[in-house]
């Protein structure tokens, strides 16, 4: 607050985040200010010293590839083959493989401290000291000779730093063998967002784990039903059965796996690729035994959760996004199973034509094009389109297992496949790891939902929605995973009837979600009326009935953001083009700051990798983009 001698004003405020940190405050007169006082506060701020990170990693310095392969080839797998229990087989496989791996590449704990910039050599530090000394001399004795000396040393030090940075990053990018190495270099430069690993969590790992697994409908909806109530008990060759998994499919599934994250079983993708030639018969045996017995290994049902902040400074549990890490070998089996299910659904024509997620030849772009083509065609017929974009709360986490099994049974899945899918879904647990201190929470059971971070989970979720097409009576719909849009066309004079029909379908959707244990979120659901500018501008929204979701009236929006694309009610691309331009300009500005550090060939690659995706995203949908936006 700026104080006058005889009055006070609220022009200047001192705002604190915690009054307990406020030690003292007051005002004091100043001779050089007429009729005004200076204000001050004394604030207690504790600066915590940043601690070094402790990381447990593999020591590859003495690794001998030939000796390692010899030891792996010499493993006796007799006990594994003779066992009749899939969990025991996986336990033997993991322990034998890790025993050899630990002996050749042992685990070591390393402490990382905050080191100076890696390009800061001794000669550069000396040049900086000489520069700083010359600056102090010039500030004490201001004359042209001292200033020119300081300026020359400043420019020389700056030149050395720039050249050292360029050499350092050129060396990094030249040594990068894959895209991961290049992206790590870009994170060092600040051109892309750095990972938040090692940052302290605001909540305990156990508290976050309870939040991630807990919701008000934790118990199974069919708690009195069992798997046997769903199974037919008969063999029918017309139904879908598992096919034998060949080594070729296994190798392709492992090759297609890109994540290097290691699950709680300790088997990494690198270890699998090192040993795949020697252990392929064993992996083939494990995969086919699991499918034939209808049992998914319990060791592969444990998920490691790493919380990632959704916002810069999280304060609540909901400010974290759970990233699930599953065993690598389990995801390879899921990928093979996923291929078999997709081939069956496509061949039998059982896929929902309005679901575009996780299907070949379908994408976000094809979904948006289909919807916009319908809206434009209606506009050509002098009609408008009333549309509602729904948001589901934790849709993937609310899938009821037995309800899903029933739906798979209706899709002609055999008893053996249903038994395996049920084993895959049930008995799962998850634990949260705090990377800042290495603590791991106690595992908690996950009683509903499809596994997050899995390969098969998203496909199972889309099959959970396959009966949605029978729900609507009036509207068309689009699904992309759990993003649902419904819309109806009408002439402007019939908009009251159209909204009544759309509300009838929304009521049907609500009943369907209750029956399937899903939950609509009215607060994030949007309604919009789309059409030509002439019809939209002549429509008085205050006289139009409201679209209602779960008793909540929705305001008609002038724009919606659908699958990353901003759509205006007049079907103009102005806002979308503006957002793309801002993103591109931001990336180009960051590239400009580092232009002296990057070779020409890398600059081209960076533009292709960082700029073009913003321009290319759903670009085929911009069929009516006018020249002013180009």
- Kindly write down the DSSP assignment for every residue of 317-386, as one continuous string: GGGEEEEEE--HHHHHHHHHHHHHHHHHHHHHT-S-TTB-TT-TT--HHHHHHHHHHHHHHHHHTT-EEE
Q: Please state which of the ranges 85-99, 199-213, 248-262, 521-535 shows the lowest mean pLDDT.
A: 199-213
SS3 content of the chain, % helix, strand, coil (to 5): 50, 15, 35
Which residue did the predictor score with more confidence, 6 or 320? Answer: 320
pLDDT above 90: percentage of residues in the chain: 59
What SS3 state is found at 177?
coil
CA gap 6, 35 in Å, rounded:
8
Residue 594 pLDDT class (50, 70, 90 cuts): confident
- Read off the tokens for 468: 């949605």
Q: What is the pLDDT of residue 483?
A: 93
Q: Say whether pLDDT at 221 is over 80.
A: no
Which residue did the predictor score with more confidence, 614 or 599? Answer: 614
CA gap 547, 526 in Å, rounded:
9
Q: Please state which of the ranges 114-123, 266-275, 567-576 shows the lowest mean pLDDT.
A: 114-123
Highest average pLDDT, of 84-93, 177-186, 587-596, comes from 84-93
| Residue 351 CB-half CA count within 13 A | 21
Q: What is the pLDDT of residue 217?
A: 41
Residue 218 pLDDT class (50, 70, 90 cuts): very low
Would you kindly state where each structural domain of the chain is located, as residue ranges?
1-47, 366-394+461-571, 580-621
Q: Say whether pLDDT at 68 is over 50.
A: yes
Q: What is the pLDDT of residue 34?
A: 61
- CA–chain centroid gap for 364, Å, is 16
Q: What angle do CA 468, 469, 471 make, to 5 degrees?
A: 65
Residue 630 pLDDT class (50, 70, 90 cuts): low
Q: What is the pLDDT of residue 627?
A: 66
How many CB atoms sit inside 10 A of residue 224's CB? 7
**Pair type for strands 526-530 and 384-390:** antiparallel
Nearest to 400 by CA among 501, 498, 513, 297: 513
Q: Say whether pLDDT at 301 is over 50.
A: yes
Q: Say whether pLDDT at 531 is over 70.
A: yes
Q: Say whether pLDDT at 157 is over 90.
A: yes
- Kindly write down the DSSP assignment for every residue of 448-517, as one continuous string: SSPPTT-SSHHHHHHHHTGGGGGT-SS-EEEEETTEEEEEEEE-GGGHHHHHHHHHHHHHHHHHHHHHTT
Which residue did the predictor score with more confidence, 109 or 405? Answer: 405
What SS3 state is found at 309?
strand
Highest average pLDDT, of 30-39, 118-127, 374-383, comes from 374-383
- CA–chain centroid gap for 4, Å, is 54
**pTM flag (> 0.85):** no
How many CB atoms sit inside 10 A of residue 561's CB? 14
Highest average pLDDT, of 33-37, 58-62, 224-228, comes from 58-62
Q: What is the pLDDT of residue 48?
A: 61
Which residue did the predictor score with more confidence, 362 or 112? Answer: 362
Which residue did the predictor score with more confidence, 168 or 79? Answer: 79
CA gap 305, 334 in Å, rounded:
19
Q: Say whether pLDDT at 503 is over 90.
A: yes
What are the backbone angles phi and psi of residue 425, rounded to the nearest 5°? -85, -35
Which residue did the predictor score with more confidence, 315 or 199? Answer: 315
The region that residue 473 occupies, defined by phi over 0 for left and psi between -120 and 50 for alpha, beta otherwise, is alpha
Residue 219 pLDDT class (50, 70, 90 cuts): very low
CA gap 72, 102 in Å, rounded:
12
Q: Please state which of the ranges 456-465, 517-526, 534-543 shows the lowest mean pLDDT.
A: 534-543
How many CB atoms sit inside 10 A of residue 575's CB? 15
Q: Say whether pLDDT at 277 is over 60.
A: yes
Q: Please state which of the ranges 89-93, 270-274, 497-501, 538-542 shows the lowest mean pLDDT.
A: 538-542
Q: What is the mean pLDDT of the chain?
A: 87
Render pLDDT for 77-131 as a digit per residue (tens, 0 to 9).
Answer: 999 999 999 999 999 999 999 999 999 999 888 776 655 677 888 899 999 999 9
Q: What is the pLDDT of residue 51?
A: 60
Q: Say whether pLDDT at 492 is over 70.
A: yes
Q: What is the pLDDT of residue 14?
A: 78
What class, spelled out in words, does domain 366-394+461-571 have in CATH?
alpha beta
With both helix axes pointing from N to C terminus, report the angle between 415-425 and 269-293 in degrees, rounded to the nearest 10.
Answer: 130
Whats the size of the chain, residue-wise?
630
Q: Give the DSSP letter of residue 413.
A: B
Q: What is the pLDDT of residue 599?
A: 76
- Read off the tokens for 418: 């249903």
Q: Give the DSSP letter of residue 13.
A: -
Which residues have a Cβ under 8 Å from the Cβ of 236 and sit 6 or more positions away? 414
Tokens 């035994």 correspond to 289
Render pLDDT for 609-628 as a digit per residue (tens, 0 to 9).
Answer: 889 999 999 988 888 776 66
Q: Say whether pLDDT at 374 is over 60.
A: yes
The region that residue 427 occupies, defined by phi over 0 for left and psi between -120 and 50 for alpha, beta otherwise, is left
- The answer to whether the CB of 418 falls within 8 A of the CB of 231 is yes
Q: Say whether pLDDT at 212 is over 70.
A: yes
Residue 220 pLDDT class (50, 70, 90 cuts): very low
Q: What is the pLDDT of residue 179?
A: 62
């Amino acid at each position: 607050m700026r104080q006058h001698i005889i009055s006070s004003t609220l022009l200047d405020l001192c705002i604190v985040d915690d009054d307990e940190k406020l030690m003292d405050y007051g005002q004091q007169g100043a001779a050089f200010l007429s009729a005004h006082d200076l204000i001050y506060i004394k604030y207690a701020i504790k600066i915590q010293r940043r601690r070094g990170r402790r990381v447990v990693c593999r020591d590859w310095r003495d690794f001998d590839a030939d000796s390692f392969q010899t030891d792996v080839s010499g493993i006796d797998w007799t006990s594994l083959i003779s066992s009749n229990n899939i969990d025991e087989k996986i336990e033997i496989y993991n322990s034998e493989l890790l025993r050899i791996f630990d002996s050749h590449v042992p685990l070591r704990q390393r402490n990382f401290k905050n080191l100076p910039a890696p390009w800061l050599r001794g000669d550069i530090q000396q040049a900086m000291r000489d520069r700083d000394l010359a600056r102090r001399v010039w500030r004490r004795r201001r004359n042209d000779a001292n200033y020119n000396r300081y300026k020359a040393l400043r420019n020389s030090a700056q030149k050395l730093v720039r050249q050292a940075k360029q050499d350092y990053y050129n060396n990094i990018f030249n040594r990068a063998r894959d895209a991961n190495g290049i992206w790590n270099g870009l994170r060092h430069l600040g051109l892309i967002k750095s990972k938040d690993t090692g940052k302290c969590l605001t909540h305990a790992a156990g508290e976050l784990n309870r939040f991630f697994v807990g919701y008000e409908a934790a118990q199974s909806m069919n708690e009195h039903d069992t798997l046997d109530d769903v199974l037919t008990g008969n063999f029918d060759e017309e139904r879908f059965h598992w096919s034998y998994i060949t080594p070729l499919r296994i190798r392709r599934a492992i090759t297609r796996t890109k994540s290097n994250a290691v699950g709680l079983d300790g088997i990494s993708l690198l270890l699998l690729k090192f040993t795949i030639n020697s252990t392929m018969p064993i992996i083939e045996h494990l995969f086919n035994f699991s499918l034939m017995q209808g049992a998914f290994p319990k060791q592969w049902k444990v998920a490691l959760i790493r919380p990632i902040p959704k916002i810069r400074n999280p304060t609540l549990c909901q400010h974290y996004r759970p990233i699930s890490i599953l065993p690598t070998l389990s995801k390879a089996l899921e990928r093979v199973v996923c291929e078999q299910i997709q081939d069956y659904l496509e061949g039998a024509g059982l896929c929902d034509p309005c679901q575009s997620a996780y299907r070949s030849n379908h994408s976000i772009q094809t979904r948006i094009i289909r919807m916009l083509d319908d809206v434009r065609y209606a506009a050509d017929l002098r009609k408008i389109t009333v549309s509602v974009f729904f948001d589901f709360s934790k849709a993937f986490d609310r899938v009821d297992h037995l309800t899903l099994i029933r739906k798979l049974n209706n899709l002609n899945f055999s008893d053996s496949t249903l038994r395996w899918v049920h084993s895959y879904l049930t008995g799962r647990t998850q634990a949260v790891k705090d990377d800042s201190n290495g603590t791991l929470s106690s595992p908690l059971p996950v009683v509903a939902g499809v596994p997050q971070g899995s390969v098969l989970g998203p496909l199972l979720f889309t099959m959970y929605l396959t009966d949605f097409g029978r729900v609507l009576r009036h509207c068309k719909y689009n699904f992309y995973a759990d993003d649902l849009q419904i819309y109806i066309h009408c002439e402007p004079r019939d908009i009251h009837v159209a909204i009544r029909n759309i509300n009838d379908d929304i009521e049907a959707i609500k009943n369907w979600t209750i029956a399937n244990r899903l939950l609509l979120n009215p607060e994030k659901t949007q309604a919009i009326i789309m059409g030509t500018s002439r019809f939209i501008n002549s429509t008085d929204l205050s006289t139009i009935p409201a679209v209602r979701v779960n008793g909540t009236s929705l305001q008609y929006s002038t724009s919606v953001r659908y699958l990353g694309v901003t759509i205006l009610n007049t079907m103009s691309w102005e806002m979308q083009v503006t957002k793309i331009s801002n993103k591109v300009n931001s990336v180009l500005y960051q590239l400009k700051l580092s232009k002296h550090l990057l070779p020409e060939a890398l600059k081209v690659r960076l533009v292709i990798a960082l700029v073009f995706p913003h321009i290319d995203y759903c670009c085929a949908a911009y069929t009516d983009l006018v020249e002013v936006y180009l």
